[in-house]
Amino acid sequence: MKNRKISIRESEKTFPIRGMRELYHEINQNFNKRIFALLLEGQSFKPSTGRGQSLGEFQIIKFKKKTVDPVNSKKFRRSIVYLNHHSDGFVVHLKWIKTKANFFNRILWNFSLVRSNKRLNDVSIKNYIFKNGVSNFIER
């Protein structure tokens, strides 16, 4: 079976009440914005099912990584590394920590954002870093 990403727009097509799709979309957008604001403050988000099961933990983590610039490396015929001066050399991304989750077959599950959300996520994190720095993200 092929892995398939489902966006909010696609999931609202399954919503049973046709006239309420706009409300469904608005609720999802507001919920996601609040969660992302919480994550940008350096806190983690722990969703649960309400039946005592945890779905793990979401965090924005930072780590130092040397990333090679392919265009300039080819141009100058030597390895050129991005320095990431805007974030003090840190790379930042959203991570789902499954080790704290307690549901069956968690190794089969994966979390990845839809393309539009990836780009929105990257832009939001970059804007936040320019304003506030990377000090309140969790270091790995």
Whose structure tokens read 């320095």?
83
Residue 74 has pLDDT above 70, yes or no: yes
Beta bridge partners of 64: 90
* Residue 137 to residue 106: CA distance in whole angstroms: 25
3-state helix, strand, coil in the chain (%, to 5): 45, 20, 35
Note if the pTM is more than 0.95.
no
Question: Is pLDDT above 60 for 1?
Answer: no
CA angle 137, 71, 122 (to 5 degrees): 25
At 139, the pLDDT band (50, 70, 90 cuts) reads confident
Q: Residue 139 is inside which H or E element, if any?
A: strand 138-139
Check residues 5 and 56 and name the one with the higher pLDDT: 56
Predicted pLDDT at 5: 67
Q: What is the pLDDT of residues 2-12, one digit of tens each?
A: 666 666 677 77
